Amino acid sequence: MTITTHPEAGIATPRPWWRQLYAQVLFAITMGVAIGHFYPETGAALKPLGDGFIKLVKMIIAPVIFLSVVSGIAGMAHIGGVGRVAGKAFGYFLVVSTGALILGLIVANIVQPGAGLNIDPASLDPRAVADYVSKAHDTSIVGFLSDIIPTTLVSALTDGSILQTLFVAILFGIALSLVGEIGAPIVDGINRLGVVVFRLVAMLMQFAPIGAFGAIAFTIGKFGLGTLVNLAVLVITFYVTSLLFVLVVLGLIARAHGFSVVRLIAYLRAELLLVLGTSSSEAAMPSLMAKLEAAGCERSVVGLVVPMGYSFNLDGTNIYMTLAALFIAQAVGVDLSLWQQVTLLGVAMLSSKGAAGVTGAGFITLAATLSIVPSVPVAGLALILGIDRFMSECRSLTNFMGNAVATIVVARWEGALDENQLNASLAAKGTDLSAMPVEADSD
């Protein structure tokens, strides 16, 4: 048996607009901004609502990845397909994420967002970013690779590491496929359990408006809209650059592979609003996987590419890293030569890999990059600390769209994409996950 989702079921009997998840999340974000602005203390106190919802979603991420990957691999005709899909995904990630880094570098040189600030590096307080720098020093390529291997087989599902869960799921799926008919009852049980888990995902998504309300109210209440004014040039430059990356770069990639990125945005609008409200692309990860499968991507590809992308394909974070690094250099009067900028780019390419798609990870990764490039003072991070929360929202949105496009592209390369179903789903401009019944079909 296989698990199939049917977006047409939600389209046939559409809900009133006020019952659509995207409308509820949008209303919640609007109310959260109002509460945070006019009643900042109340807004800051609502932080547990956002944190609680993100914890709910993270609770289900490991089971979703494990069940999707195991089910997909066990259903593959040839085990070699796992390595082939992973190889194509890594190739795509490397090219596109490097392009994002270069784009940030080019825009920073053209716009010069930090020019004219003339800030004395000695006046910066390194203690303000000490925690981030400490975390950055704790990370290394060897340590990152070592952390992919879990302590035990079960701990991969309980420690909250996406890559550990993916690692164990791939091994388990391959082993299950190799034992043949003996493992058939286990495959059947995993498929049936997947039905229950994806129904649980749909249930948890009903709390999305509450989570988005609490998270955005906290952000505005804690940091204030006025924080944006002080560094408006950098914020606007980053948002515009990210928007151009999604519409132009990802748009051209999508068009070359037979679909529209604008229609994909409409299809994923509820998830994008959730990411905007919570500043975390992980909050919408289970829903993204369900919707991509519903749009015609085979589960084996979705289960591999999406979790990998959340660690290796962070386009928004990459744009932010080079743009913010050059902003700091310009603000403190450090004139980086072409070779120094190329060195910065190379370091960023390495340090950006493996950063988790969660709030604050981009800032830590930037700290790691600057700590290796002595030309730019790490203390300069204090200049953008106050607006990082607002930048995080844009990073998460861009990362999310980058992984959605990547999954469809790799699925098409693999011949694992039902293009008619994709076109029908995108033409419908999205449906609520809760309105998409997950059914068990007998083989």
Given a contact cutoff of 8 angstroms between Cβ atoms, the answer to whether 71 and 253 are in contact is no
The domain ranges of the chain are 2-441
Residue 7 identity? P
Helices 388-413/315-331 angle, 10° precision: 140
Write the DSSP string, 121-146: GGGS-GGGGHHHHHHHHT--HHHHHH
The CATH number that domain 2-441 falls under is 1.10.3860.10
The pLDDT tens digits of the residues spanning 185-215 come to 888 888 888 888 878 877 887 887 888 888 8
Given a contact cutoff of 8 angstroms between Cβ atoms, the answer to whether 349 and 131 are in contact is no
Q: How far is the C-alpha of 102 from the C-alpha of 73, rounded, in Å?
A: 35
Categorise residue 160: left if φ over 0, alpha if ψ from -120 to 50, beta otherwise.
left
Q: Which residue ranges in the chain fall short of pLDDT 50?
A: 1-13, 128, 132-133, 136-137, 354, 356-359, 430, 433-443
The pLDDT tens digits of the residues spanning 154-177 come to 877 777 677 788 788 888 888 888
Write the DSSP string, 332-401: TT----HHHHHHHHHHHHHHTTT--SSTTHHHHHHHHHHHH-TTS-GGGGHHHHTTHHHHHHHHHHHHHH
pTM, to two decimals: 0.74
Neighbouring C-beta atoms of residue 185, cutoff 10 Å: 9
